[in-house]
Structure 1
């Protein structure tokens, strides 16, 4: 474990696989951030702006320590002793791990947008020109199509991907049979998974593999592809007819923020993430805003697919954990070929 100590104003950044820990000095001046890897670029732009705002408001110069990991890995690190003051994670169920460990209070959703700070959808990314003619999730089952998505054991983004494919299978069964058929949805997921080229640790790692040339199609966050296209990378985005709405939470890690004496700073940072300025920056990096006004400003960049569904279509996170990701759940049966 790499230990970094902030001793001057500014930011110290942690790459994937590393953890930051406050070990000495005035920790009330240092905000420790544990974030999921996909949020790294947006957070990197937001921190200096918040730093300047806090300086203007209080006269205090603050420091940052940042750790970026796959969401599930990040949550487990915080539970294991990484003393993050705030956590930006890929999904609600990773925050639930912090609640279970008594690091975050159970009422964390009693905040604007139920604790969510960004949204996205699961989409498909193809090589420039979409040479295989990919139009929907069904095309991922065709022979010879090489698919990428990360490992849901470590990646929150991967769980969104699997939820989207499984949910699309349920939608297809409804269209054919008039009701949800879990067996048909599982079979659909199995067909897609048979074409998976590799399971990477995080959404960011999966995207890096795709950029390196691995695979024909990547199942990923819309924002990941939009951010790369904005930087000049030539990909096509395919929006499936039936796909899931992604919602990403941010929370104060109560136990550690109180321990470090910086609850006010941590709460101010979370509040800043909901401001119009921050929401526009998130939108610039491809995220769908949780602010209705900012989303209205940017909606031309974010099409709404006809069959868009949210986690409640799958029964909510408790049901999803039991149905898909328990030791005998659908995902592990697919992995085992059962």
Structure 2
């Protein structure tokens, strides 16, 4: 009886030991198979993976661009590319990359999010020494309303009217939201110039406060804010022009209102130097960024509602992209360093507006 019990105990132990041995062997095999993924693009490997960290609004355009670049690279090098993609609000994406998400390339909503990567020593300080100062797309901040514009929205001033429910995302997490806030604050400065003959930051802050009092919700990203609007939340959304054009192209019924005074949006893309070099993806990552500037890629961006950085492509498509009379860029607000300090620092205008100060 004792012998039988011992056998019963021994057999499971033997099986366990065999399973452990199989797992260890399999693990070694997987490690061996993974090693070529760390080789350089020029090594002749048959496949490679490019890791992309992008802001959420660019998802649809990037989704169309990737297979085209894949085909082009295959024809040029014989190498098959795989993609690992991540789409988040721009600020969230930048923090993820700084925190250890090893993206080879980053497509973000604004220059200040790239600056976070530079500060973390992931991207070199000369990243703007490239065509169009590192930018790959442009847009403007506009207003989206329900079909027929039932609230009669014509400009940013109408967002301050009683009963008008406004949507824009949270600038703490969303690069798109910072563009929205910059546009409203800048429009306030423009109004003060018209009325007082000079920029009045106090008047611009008061204007932003009036608009914010009508805000229905603060979503984490421009894409989330757009989803809420599509679900039926709010009367008007402050957003990228390209977001609305893309939805309208798919048959969604919205009206676009282009404010008289609004901001030019510029969206950068960079090689994340530290991670691209670590993965042996330098050549591939640089080729991908260069592809984003080609006429083919720029036409695809335009198809998805972005304003092209290529002069010829923009000339082809300019009928779809009206230029408002009071269009201004980030330099009108003093540049990104000034904007970060004036609007988004711990005691900045935006946080004073949130706190009701």
Scaled by the length of structure 2, the TM-score of the pair is 0.88
CA offsets, 1:155-209, max 9 Å, x none?
A: 0000000000000000000000000000000000000000000000000000000
Q: 1:275 to 1:7 in 2, by over 3 A?
A: farther
Q: 1:22 to 1:100 in 2, by over 3 A?
A: farther
Q: 1:15 to 1:258 in 2, by over 3 A?
A: closer
CA offsets, 1:125-165, max 9 Å, x none?
A: 00000001000000000000000000000000000000000
- 1:58, CA displacement in angstroms? 0.1
What is the alpha-carbon distance in structure 1 between the residues aligned to residue 213 and residue 226 of structure 2? Answer: 19
- 1:37, CA displacement in angstroms? 0.0
SS at match of 1:54: helix
Q: 1:8 to 1:163 in 2, by over 3 A?
A: farther
- 1:15, CA displacement in angstroms? 30
**2:321 aligned residue:** 302
The answer to whether the 8 Å contact 1:31/1:85 transfers is yes
The answer to whether the 8 Å contact 1:10/1:62 transfers is no
What is the alpha-carbon distance in structure 1 between the residues aligned to residue 134 and residue 317 of structure 2? Answer: 22
What is the alpha-carbon distance in structure 2 between the residues aligned to residue 13 and residue 172 of structure 1? Answer: 63
The answer to whether the 8 Å contact 1:28/1:262 transfers is no
Number of residue pairs matched by the alignment: 337
SS at match of 2:43: coil
Q: 1:7 to 1:240 in 2, by over 3 A?
A: farther
Q: Which structure features the higher share of helix residues?
A: 2
The answer to whether the 8 Å contact 2:41/2:283 transfers is no
SS at match of 1:38: helix
- Structure 2 residues not aligned, in runs of 5+: 1-17
What is the alpha-carbon distance in structure 2 between the residues aligned to residue 239 and residue 5 of structure 1? Answer: 64
- Structure 1 residues not aligned, in runs of 5+: none
- 1:23, CA displacement in angstroms? 21
Q: 1:194 to 1:331 in 2, by over 3 A?
A: same
Q: 1:21 to 1:264 in 2, by over 3 A?
A: closer
Q: 1:47 to 1:218 in 2, by over 3 A?
A: same
The answer to whether the 8 Å contact 1:164/1:243 transfers is yes
Scaled by the length of structure 1, the TM-score of the pair is 0.93
What is the alpha-carbon distance in structure 1 between the residues aligned to residue 32 and residue 105 of structure 2? Answer: 17
Q: 1:21 to 1:59 in 2, by over 3 A?
A: closer
The answer to whether the 8 Å contact 1:14/1:65 transfers is no
CA offsets, 1:222-279, max 9 Å, x none?
A: 0000000000000000000000000000000000000000100000000000000000
The answer to whether the 8 Å contact 2:47/2:79 transfers is no
What is the alpha-carbon distance in structure 1 between the residues aligned to residue 242 and residue 52 of structure 2? Answer: 21
Q: 1:98 to 1:22 in 2, by over 3 A?
A: farther
- 1:106, CA displacement in angstroms? 0.2
Q: 1:15 to 1:60 in 2, by over 3 A?
A: closer
